Amino acid sequence: MYLKQIEMVGFKSFADRTKLTFDTGVTAIVGPNGSGKSNVTESLRWALGEQSAKSLRGAKMPDIIFAGTQKRRALNYAEVIVTFDNSDNYLPSEKTVVVTRRLYRNGDSEFLINDKKVRLRDVHELFMDTGLGRDSFSIISQGKIEAIFNSKPEERRAIFEEAAGVLKYKTRKKETESKLSATQENMDRLDDIIYELDGQLTPLRAQRDVALQFRELDEKRGQLGLSVLVAQLTAEKHQHEQITEELETVSRSLTEIDQVETAVSRELGTLKQKRRDVEQAQEKMQDELLQLTTAKSDFQSKITIYHNQAQMSQKSEAERTSRIQLLTDKVAELGEELTKLSDKLSDNQANKSDLTAQIQTLESKLANLSENPEDAIERLRAEFVDLVNQEAQLSNRITKNTSELNNIVANAASRSDENKLLSDKYTTLKAELAETSQQAADLKALIAKLLSQYQTAETTGKQLDAQHEQLQTGLFAAMDTLNKTKARLSSLENIRASHANFYQGVKAVLQASDQLPGVIGAIADLIRFDKKYATAIDIALGAGSQNVVVSDEQAAKAAINFLKAQRLGRATFLPLTTIKPRYFSKLAQVSGMPGFVDVAQNLVSYDAQLAPALSNLLGSVLIVDNNDNASKIARALNFTARIVALDGTEIRPGGSFSGGANKKQSTTFTNVEIDALTQQVIGFDTQVRALETQLQDVQAKRSEINAVLSDLRQKGEASRLDSQACTLKEQALLATKADIESRLALSNVSGEQTRVGKLKAGNLSSTERLDTIAVEKEQINTAIAQLKSSQSEIKAMTEQVRQDLQGKQLACNDILSDIRHETTEIKRLTAEKSALDQEIKALAVENETHDASLTADRLATLSDNLSKVSEKFDATSIKMVSLKFEREDLTAQLDELALTHEATNREKQDLLTQKTRFGLSLESLESLLIKRQNKLIDAYQMSFDAAKTLAQEVTNLPESERQLQGLETQIRRLGPVNLAAIDQFDEVNKRRDFLNTQKDDLLHAKALLEATIDEMDDEVKVKFKTTFEAIRLAFKTNFTQMFGGGQADLILNSENLLEAGIEIDVQPPGKKLASLNLMSGGEKSLTALALLFSIIRVRTVPFVVLDEVEAALDEANVKRFGDYMTRFDENSQFIVVTHRKGTMKAAKVMYGVTMQEGGISKIVSVKLKDFVAEEQEKS
């Protein structure tokens, strides 16, 4: 496999579509600085999945899109297409692999492999452990060379892991550890649930025992109650038959009288209809007369108005002209006011600029005063130490001079040859001493600079630590809230899934809904509403929330038979074909009253087909905001409506009130709380992810700061050691210089006296300097004391400057407020001036369009219409008189027939009274029968005929009724009975056993995951150890070859092969074994390249991309680097970005990157073999 082609468009400086084709061997990419040659290697890394904009030399990822130049517009997307020849199946894909990445300016991005859209993860997995990933050792830049040395041993390990091909194992291990963590969390959660279930079983067991006793008593009560009901119904049905016979006799008499009454009524109706026709004709004539009268009056009024308008026409035109003049003057005044405001605005903006400059000056002064006095004290102490050192040196010099004086007196021999040698040595020593002194000064300045940088980085690190702690606290709190919310949500979902919040019968029907056609669901599961109405809707529905909606009465009967057959309790059903809606008829009366919210049905959302059921339950219930308003509305409705306040207080028809507080919130409407909790979980999860991202960013920044601090410490320590070595060297040179001077003086017989004089003068000068040093030491001590005492004065000056700064800032804010006010006023006056201009134009148009001739034409038309209306009015009045006579005749006929109808009606009323009396008796009896039959159906779910076959004979009805009351008393003494406890106990017990089984399964899964992790660890150890030893052996050989001698080694700093870091020990030729930090830049780069080539030798990769990695090498080592690349076999592929001649000579193909057009990179290519052949032909 090898890299075949890179094609890019819109990537950084490559605005035009550009293709680079590669072959085996070495390909060089050259060009001047800033031409964009490194963009080629960055495009490859980006296409292979690089996600860090910073590593691509950008602030954010859209920065890589061509941003445009003065002559070129910016592009909206960047695209890089990388083609690999995969003939050897190096990658688990097709023979040719094409990886495409696109990024659009709006942030959208795409990844494609062979023109198929994939995820970023798919691209990473394709190249994982192949040595070709975005951060692999096959793509090396100069910064990555430095990172090999500057990184910690543990961080250096990543390169070796990539070479060993264990990244997939590490990824799988991470996923397995995540699963292991999830398994442990599930186990902890199961433990909590099992503990909770154990707590539920004890009270459920007691409730189950009471429920079983209730069942026994209830069965006896049911049998006796059935017999009593059948006996009562039999007696009442016999009485009903007797009253029905008497009622039929009265009904026959009523039928006969009705026939007579019908004939009279029919004739009365005919006469009344005729009179109504006449009356309607009269009303129509009267309306017509009224319209004609109105029309006459209207025409007369208009004629008068037009007469007046003709007179006022001339006066209105003059007024409009006057108004135009007045508005023109107002516009002029507004223009002057706008000019003044604009001038004032300009002055305020100038004042703002002056104040801004003063504020900057004060801030600078405040920054100077904020310098820590302790730093100055520390510098003075350092000067004091220097004076002590000088004092010691001067004392030593005096002692030495005194000794030399004694030697001069004792030794006076002359050695001319030695003097010449000493003189030459003295000249060389003086030059070396000057160079060493300059070097010492430079090192001192460097140490001071490094110390300042270290303090700045350390301050930033402390700020990041504080931010990290704050984010971590917030993250833990958010995660805790999220976990609690998830636990509550899971609990409610379990309740909803198991229908545990419903009565036994309802629960049984819902669980068997698959077997019962037509069951739609419980009301509580079928509705949604705002949480603020939860209490009110709960109270309004009451037990109705557990009513079951079914499609028709057949479905209801089938469900009831199911409950009876299985003895699973009772339930109320709402068949959509029979349930009747209820409506509140006085909505208009209460809709405007204070506190009225709405009818309860309107506050609930539901499927349209459920409207009859919801109307029946909530259609007549009013929801009000509080108790006081509920009382007022109830009183206004004379306590005829059911009203529920938002806090749960209820006013029933008739005036009864109920309310208070529930100890436990209703769990019937789990859907409402589940919806709310689901949204909360989404919100909390988003918050946790955001905090995790922020925490990762802070950690990354802290890691960068730590790296900077480590680097500064290393550089500072190295500079300190260099400074100490330089100081020692300087002292040694001074001592040697003094010794040579002394020897020269002693060996020069003719100058002995002069030398003696100089030595004495030197002793005198040194003594005087010692006195001066003593004074300077005292001054430094005094200055230190003054600095310590003047800290309060500095604080006072700082406070004064801070107050001046605050004053200037307040003044600047006032001016900014004036500027905003003046800007707003200018806008207002401009708008007012524009409105006045529009009014002036409108008045001018009105003057131009006024025409007096129109008024005369309208007057003529109105006079003609008035004459026609008057004629029609006279004709209609004559018809009205004729209709009046006809109506009087019909009224007389109606009066005579009404007397006959009255007599017939009195006879009918007597019969109706009898019928009513019998009807009331029947109604009362039927009501009692219906009540007993309903009781029979509700209590026993059977008809009267079916009950007679099951009921026992009752010989003494009163005695049987007393026995039934006794059973009722025993049942009441049992207190509240939870019949569901029988099933709940079995269900909870079964669930606890099930959860224990699940826990055992999780324990087994946990053991398997831990075994899998151990197996992967063993595999990683073997692969890593094997690869490391191979790279180590290759590195020793390559180092010696590339350096022409010396030795090097790779050492693991720990016996733990999963985490051990890698130390690099090197010994260049002719040098001692030393730390990497003490090596020169060229030596470091050459060592890193030796390591890189060692890795490539061990883990062969199809191609290697090197971006100016030899920049720090000298020409000789560059040649070695180039020669070493050519040693690899012909099938190896190197792509090198360089501007070094030695590297270029090793290349088969060379691409030149130029910017013929500013900001646009272009590619020029040449095959060097062809170029050489052409040159030979020319020669």
> Over the stretch 167-206, which tens digit does the pLDDT of each residue have?
666 667 777 778 778 878 877 787 877 777 777 778 877 8
Q: How far, rounded to the nearest angstrom, does the alpha carbon of residue 1150 sit from its chain's CA centroid? A: 49
In the chain, domain spans: 1-138+1103-1179, 415-501+670-748, 510-661
| 547: enclosing H helix or E strand | none
Which pLDDT value is given to residue 1171?
A: 46
Q: Distance between CA atoms of 645 and 257, rounded to whole angstroms?
A: 55
Q: Distance between CA atoms of 205 and 308, rounded to whole angstroms?
A: 101
Which pLDDT value is given to residue 848?
A: 56
End-to-end CA distance of the chain: 39
Per-residue confidence band for 361, with pLDDT thresholds at 50, 70 and 90: low
* pLDDT mean over 726-736: 70
DSSP 77-93: EEEEEEEEE-TT--SSS
Q: Which fold has domain 1-138+1103-1179?
A: Rossmann fold (3.40.50)
Higher model confidence: residue 618 or residue 892? 618
Task: Say whether 33 counts as a known binding-site residue.
Answer: yes
* pLDDT mean over 29-43: 87
Q: Distance between CA atoms of 917 and 935, rounded to whole angstroms?
A: 27
- Mean pLDDT is highest, among 74-83, 362-371, 1135-1144, for 74-83
Say which residue the tokens 């061990």 belong to.
1098
Q: Would you tell me how many other CB atoms lie within 10 Å of the CB of residue 27?
A: 24
Give the torsion through C-alpha atoms of 373, 377, 378, 383, to 10 deg. 140
Q: Would you tell me how many other CB atoms lie within 10 Å of the CB of residue 1115?
A: 10
Residue ranges in 1108-1162 assigned as alpha helix (H): 1115-1127, 1141-1145
CB 169 within 8 A of CB 1019: yes
Higher model confidence: residue 727 or residue 1154? 1154
Task: Say whether 36 counts as a known binding-site residue.
Answer: yes
pLDDT 10s digits, 1064-1076 = 888 888 777 666 6
- Mean pLDDT is highest, among 139-148, 305-314, 1097-1106, for 1097-1106
Which pLDDT value is given to residue 7?
A: 94
User: CA 945, 946, 948 angle in degrees (round to 5)?
Assistant: 65
On the question of pLDDT at 363 being above 70, the answer is: no
Higher model confidence: residue 726 or residue 118? 118
Tell me the pairing of strands 596-599 and 573-575: unpaired
Per-residue confidence band for 664, with pLDDT thresholds at 50, 70 and 90: very low
Which pLDDT value is given to residue 620?
A: 87
Q: What are phi and psi of 69, to 5 degrees?
A: -130, -175
304-313, 768-777, 806-815, 917-926: least confident range:
304-313
Q: Which fold has domain 415-501+670-748?
A: Helix Hairpins (1.10.287)
Q: Which two tokens stand for residue 1124?
A: 């070493």
Higher model confidence: residue 848 or residue 862? 862
- Mean pLDDT is highest, among 328-337, 362-371, 990-999, for 990-999
Q: What's the pTM?
A: 0.37
Task: Say whether 32 counts as a known binding-site residue.
Answer: yes
On the question of pLDDT at 1047 being above 70, the answer is: yes
622-636, 748-762, 820-834, 1083-1097: least confident range:
748-762
Per-residue confidence band for 663, with pLDDT thresholds at 50, 70 and 90: very low
Per-residue confidence band for 112, with pLDDT thresholds at 50, 70 and 90: very high
* pLDDT mean over 739-758: 60
- Mean pLDDT is highest, among 287-301, 471-485, 602-616, 840-854, for 602-616
Residue ranges in 133-166 assigned as alpha helix (H): 142-150, 153-164
Q: Look up residue 573 and give its amino acid.
A: F
- 1141-1175 per-residue burial string, b: 16 or more CB within 10 A, e: under 16: ebbbebbbbbbbbbeeeebbbbbeeeebeeeeeee
Which pLDDT value is given to residue 662?
A: 60
Higher model confidence: residue 664 or residue 802? 802
Which pLDDT value is given to residue 1172?
A: 44
Which pLDDT value is given to residue 668?
A: 56
511-520, 801-810, 974-983, 997-1006: least confident range:
801-810
Q: Distance between CA atoms of 746 and 411, rounded to whole angstroms?
A: 7
CB 82 within 8 A of CB 47: yes
On the question of pLDDT at 416 being above 60, the answer is: no
64-68, 378-382, 428-432, 639-643: least confident range:
378-382
Q: Distance between CA atoms of 812 and 340, rounded to whole angstroms?
A: 22
* pLDDT mean over 476-494: 73
117-126, 481-490, 677-686, 983-992: least confident range:
481-490
Share of the chain above pLDDT 70, in %: 77
Q: How far, rounded to the nearest angstrom, does the alpha carbon of residue 601 sit from its chain's CA centroid? A: 36
Task: Say whether 935 counts as a known binding-site residue.
Answer: no
Q: Tell me the helices (H) and strands (E) count for the chain, helix number first.
A: 25, 22
* pLDDT mean over 1025-1051: 84
Per-residue confidence band for 1177, with pLDDT thresholds at 50, 70 and 90: low
Q: What are phi and psi of 597, to 5 degrees?
A: -95, -65
On the question of pLDDT at 495 being above 80, the answer is: no
Which pLDDT value is given to residue 1056?
A: 80
Higher model confidence: residue 654 or residue 171? 654
Share of the chain above pLDDT 90, in %: 5
CATH tag for 510-661 (out of 3.30.70.1620, 3.40.50.300, 3.40.309.10, 2.60.40.10): 3.30.70.1620
Cα–Cα separations (whole angstroms), residue 1134 to 339, 1096, 1101, 1147: 73, 11, 10, 9
Mean pLDDT (the chain) is 77
Which of 483, 550, 480, 495 is CA-nearest to residue 521?
Answer: 550
Q: Distance between CA atoms of 567 and 36, rounded to whole angstroms?
A: 85
Which pLDDT value is given to residue 6?
A: 93
| 130: enclosing H helix or E strand | none
CB 618 within 8 A of CB 601: yes
Q: Distance between CA atoms of 1057 and 1019, rounded to whole angstroms?
A: 11
* pLDDT mean over 1169-1176: 48
pLDDT 10s digits, 204-259 = 778 888 888 887 777 777 777 778 888 878 877 778 888 888 878 878 787 877 77
Task: Say whether 35 counts as a known binding-site residue.
Answer: yes
- 545-574 per-residue burial string, b: 16 or more CB within 10 A, e: under 16: bbbbbbeeeebbebbbebbeeeebbbbbbb
Which pLDDT value is given to residue 1175?
A: 44
Higher model confidence: residue 1056 or residue 575? 575
CB 230 within 8 A of CB 1039: no
* pLDDT mean over 423-446: 78
807-821, 953-967, 1009-1023, 1039-1053: least confident range:
807-821
Task: Say whether 38 counts as a known binding-site residue.
Answer: yes
CB 980 within 8 A of CB 504: yes
